[in-house]
Amino acid sequence: MTADGDLAGAPAGRRRRFRWVKWVLGAVILALLVGEGLYLWPRLHESWRTLTEIHWGWLFLCIVLQAMSMSGFGRVQKQLLHAGGVDVSQGKSVSVVYGATAMSLTLPAGQVFSTAFTYRQTRRWGASPIVASWQLVFSGVVAAAGLALIGITGAALVGQGIGFKFVGSLVVLGLVLFIGNYLARHPGMLESILRRVLALINRLRKKPADHGIAKLAEIRAQLESVELGKKDGALVGVWALVHRFADVACLGAACFAVGADPKLSGLLIAFAAGKAVGSIPFAPGGIVYVDATLIYGLTAGAGLPAAQAVAAAFVYRLVSFILVAVVGWIVFAFLFRTPQADDHEYEQEFKQQRRI
């Protein structure tokens, strides 16, 4: 297998057939860079002057808040693993979060590498395959719910009608935690639902009716080890909010660091839009299009002049992208660089779990 994840013996014709995709993606990225450069060129001088007058106290706070955000997600992971019967220290959990984030931000197809890396480490901590996969899925769902909460809050503030929408988004986050807790406590119901779905899939694929039933029983047995109680569920929700709102506060501190005074509603919407766009795996770290989204959101929504928006986006991305990636790779180099004997086994296991 090559470094790109393709079989080394793949036919040359197949490689040639998809070579044009790389050229198209390269041309699109180049066009985006040129377009953004042309758009920002008249404002770069003012942005640079703004950066030279940066408020260092706000920049320091920006770094602290980003560290709080990363620590919050480490707590989410730690608490979910605790619900699955796996106790791990906060230091180990956060170190994996930094390493996985560095991969996700800087590598092509980084989200796949980071997920596999997290899965491998949680298995080494003693999590079963199902608990390790469940933790990955549930932490992602909770993080997405927190992002939706931020976006809805920003939209509600624009209309000065925060009451119903804000409460509604909190209810959605609570429902996510409740459903996860309920299914963990009642794996029999989940197995019953999955049996019906599996029967339908087997019928469509013309497979034997009992195909995959044994795997469902295995999944149920391992899910019974997951007990997301009220305390764990509440802590997961709290730390998920810390993770997201500390990141928003980091963006706000970046704005204040360059002398800007953003509107709260626009700040929330710009942040939510930037994170949503960044989830599209078009380029490592969402370079160019995430920056453009943040700049536009801060200008159109938060009321910042273009020069300040560019400077604020630069400071925020310097901390949340470059600094986090650098720290993450340093952590990886010191703690996770050495290959382990079980790496191949867990890699194959992870691929099998993804196919379930």
Contact 276, 178 (CB under 8 A): no
Are 296 and 72 a contacting pair, CB within 8 Å?
A: no
Query: What local confidence, expressed as pLDDT, does residue 18 receive?
Result: 46
Q: How far apart are CA 354 and CA 133, in angstroms?
A: 9
231, two tokens: 């305390």
Ranking 124-138, 140-154, 156-170 by mean pLDDT, the lowest is 156-170
Give 43-71 as a DSSP string.
HHHHHHHHHHT--HHHHHHHHHHHHHHHH
Mean pLDDT of 90-110: 90
| Whole-angstrom distance, CA of residue 147 vs CA of residue 264 | 15
Residue 141 is given by DSSP the state: H
pLDDT at 88 over 90: yes
pLDDT for 15:
46
Measured in whole angstroms, how far is the alpha carbon of residue 129 from the centre of its chain?
Answer: 21
The span from the CA of 189 to the CA of 203, in Å, is 22
CB-based burial label for 334 (10 Å; 0-12, 13-18, 19+):
exposed
Q: For residue 112, what pLDDT is reported? A: 84
Does residue 354 carry a pLDDT above 80? no
Q: How confident is the model at residue 326 (pLDDT cuts 50, 70, 90)?
A: very high
DSSP-assigned letter for residue 146: H
Q: How confident is the model at residue 3 (pLDDT cuts 50, 70, 90)?
A: very low
Main-chain phi, psi angles of 128, to 5 degrees: -70, 165
User: Which amino acid belongs to residue 281?
Assistant: P
Domain boundaries, the chain: 42-141+237-355
Report the run of H or E that residue 28 belongs to, with start and end: helix 12-52
Q: Kindly report, residue by residue over 204-222, the tens digit of the pLDDT.
A: 777 776 666 666 666 666 5
Least confident of 32-36, 189-193, 198-202, 244-248: 32-36
Please state, in angstroms and as integers, the Cα–Cα distance from residue 313 to each residue in 28, 36, 142, 321, following that order.
22, 13, 26, 11
Better-predicted residue by pLDDT, 19 or 78? 78
Structure tokens at 290: 């995430």
44-48, 277-281, 283-287: least confidently modelled range: 44-48
Tokens 């709102």 found at: 245
Mean pLDDT estimate for the chain: 76
For 78-91, what is the mean pLDDT?
90
pLDDT at 58: 94
Cα(341)–Cα(120) distance, rounded to whole angstroms? 12
Amino acid sitting at position 294: L
Express each pLDDT in 61-78 by its tens digit: 999 999 999 999 999 999
Averaged pLDDT, 272-297: 81
Q: Is 60 exceeded by the pLDDT of residue 57?
A: yes
Q: How far apart are the first and last CA of the chain?
A: 23
Residues 87, 89, 90, 91, Cα dihedral to 10°: -150
pLDDT of 306: 83
Pairwise CA distance, residues 280 & 86, whole Å: 32
Asked if the model's pLDDT at residue 159 lies above 50, the reply is yes
More confident residue, 45 or 232: 232
Q: What percent of the chain shows pLDDT beyond 90?
A: 22
Tokens 């930037």, located at residue? 274
Q: pTM of the predicted model, to two decimals?
A: 0.73
The per-residue pLDDT for 92 is 93
